[in-house]
Copies of this chain bind each other. A is one copy, B any other.
């Protein structure tokens, strides 16, 4: 079927989405009110599973415990700060096709990062308040609004009586924010497809490439002393300042090398973020240890191991600046989350379809860029042979921010694009 034929469906899809708009927004509010930070995902997953059952999908709900956990933990790509996942189920719903068409995974995560300092929010972080067409709440942009777009795409086609040849696999996973153990578990369970869409918050841009990233921890040593004679100790807090400057230099060096035109508009294509600092136990003691935790961006074509070596080398070079580090080297640990970088070929047919359909929905050409962050798409592309493209209605700038919000209209537009893409990719049944 040609794209022009598909477009005859467009009006009907849009109309159907409008009919269901109020109900869909109510659903999103319910999802936001489930404050699904790490470990608290059971409530929203139950709601989603129930909804998928009502839609008539084949629904699979499982916790990563027992045998599942054992397999998971043995996998080379398993990373998580958690050792225990009970109470954090994954949910997959399959809309079986009639056979013969290409399959598509619609993958999204329900875990959200903590809300940060309440004071910086003008709305309650988990209220789902709507102001001027924007729905506010932690996780609404990253990425419950995107998940809703995926769900609406399937539901709308069903309501219009459409049957597709290929399978559509809706995945609602946990643990994306700490490295993808949820999606890895779907892969180990056998889920794969001919391609995947992941509606992470891209401002409706299309990301065929995505930055990888790894979490690290630094241990910076000092020597304790009484604060009243602090000159007799060595402050790990002061030494940390030297380490932070060195990390800033490393970030600069790595980014000067980035020549991929898809990153041209990003001020820092592969940032190194120092997100957590903690040191000292007593105000009147000199701190003997500071721990910092951060995230190192990895370029799409870069080997993660090479990036690790570069970080280690930069820390070793600290001795040139301060002799203290000769006998007290900064310890580096790679821990917790890791997102595999990923890319699909620039001539991939799913990318072509999205680019063709995009103007009919949005009235302008799609912007193609590289993702500034990792997503579960890296795992799907690399391990499940499922090339993954990232595009979603969320607002990049407010992901992980106070006053996170999403523009409601964008969710429905994205759902329209996804529904049209499903028809194109999976094909209408005869």
Which positions in A face B, CB cutoff 8 Å?
113-114, 116-117, 120, 142, 177, 211, 213, 215-216, 223-233, 235, 237-238, 240-241, 244, 266-268, 271, 273-290, 292-295, 297, 336-337, 371-374, 396-397, 399-402
Docked-complex contact A277 and B289, CB < 8 angstroms? no
Is B231 a contact partner of A267 (Cβ separation < 8 A)?
yes
Q: How far is the CA of A233 from the CA of B116 in the complex (A)?
A: 13
- Chain B residue numbers with a CB within 8 Å of A279 are 276-278
In the complex the two chains form, what is the Cα distance from A235 to B177 in whole Å?
Answer: 20
Q: Are the CB atoms of B277 and A229 closer together than 8 Å?
A: no
- Name the residue in A142, A276, A371, A373 with the highest tally of chain B Cβ atoms < 10 Å from its Cβ: A276
Q: List 10 additional contacts besides A114-B282, A177-B284, A277-B280; criterion CB under 8 Å.
A: A113-B284, A228-B373, A228-B374, A229-B399, A237-B244, A275-B280, A277-B279, A280-B293, A283-B336, A285-B400
Known: A277-B279, A290-B277. A230 touches B268 (CB 8 A): yes
The reply to whether A226 and B402 form a contact with Cβ atoms under 8 Å apart is: no
| Option from B228, B295, B372 in Cβ contact (under 8 Å) with A283 | B295
Min C-beta distance of A172 to chain B, whole Å: 21
Quickly give the copy total for this chain: 2
Q: How far is the CB of A61 from chain B (nearest CB, A)?
A: 27
Give A236's nearest chain B residue, CB to CB.
B277
In the complex, what residues of B have CB within 8 A of residue A284's CB?
113, 177, 213, 215, 273, 275, 294-295, 337, 373, 400
Which B residues are in CB contact (< 8 Å) with A142?
Answer: 226
- Do B283 and A229 touch across chains, with their CB atoms under 8 A apart? no
Residue from B244, B267, B289, B371 in contact with A117 in the complex, judged by beta carbons closer than 8 Å: B289
A351 to B223, CA, bound (A): 35
- Residues of B near A238 (CB, < 8 A) are 244
**Which of A211, A229, A275, A284 is the most central at the interface, judged by chain B CB atoms within 10 Å of its CB?**
A284
Using A241-B244, A271-B231 as known contacts, say yes or no to A373 and B276 having CB atoms under 8 A apart.
Answer: no
A115 CB → nearest B CB, Å = 9
Known: A120-B223, A288-B120, A400-B285. A213 touches B241 (CB 8 A): no
Which of A224, A273, A274, A277 has the most chain B CB atoms inside 10 A of its CB? Answer: A273
B274 touches A224 (CB 8 A): no
Give CA–CA (A276, B281) in the complex, Å: 6
| Assembly CA distance A397 to B177 (angstroms) | 46
Q: With a 10 A CB-CB cut-off, give which of A117, A292, A294 has the most chain B CB atoms.
A: A117
Contact check, A401 vs B233: say whether CB atoms are below 8 A apart.
yes
Residues of chain B with a CB closer than 8 A to A336's CB: 283
The listed residue (B116, B281, B399) touching A116 by CB distance below 8 A is B281
